[in-house]
Amino acid sequence: MADGLEDFLKQNREIADTVEGLRGLWESDKHWRARRDFLVRNLSGYPQDRMDYLVALSMVWSNHVFMGCRYNEELMEKVLEMADGVDVEDAPHFTTRDEIMKQRQ
């Protein structure tokens, strides 16, 4: 989707400008590309007045993928479903406390 996403954004400057304005100063290019893909894939489901909710969901997903954060089950199901098809370059793998405890038994 990366090349397709780049082509889509080149052809849709208004969407590209809106989405680019959502990038955090702290985000690396790798993190931003993945979160931008998440945002673009889900833009049609969120009107302009609900954009803050979509941005929050994208941050939940990004925090989960890149930092190993966990959230309640319902929220995780929602963001993982929304991220279906997003390609994450070199995503880290995190071992949870529960997984470590199972290994010790």
Q: Is the per-residue pLDDT at 10 higher than 70? A: no
Q: Is the per-residue pLDDT at 38 higher than 90? A: yes
Tokens, residue 28: 């690396």
More confident residue, 33 or 98: 33
Tokens, residue 92: 């880290």
pLDDT at 72: 96
pLDDT bucket at 27, cuts 50 / 70 / 90: very high
More confident residue, 55 or 10: 55
pLDDT at 92: 75
Mean pLDDT on 88-104? 78
pLDDT at 87: 87
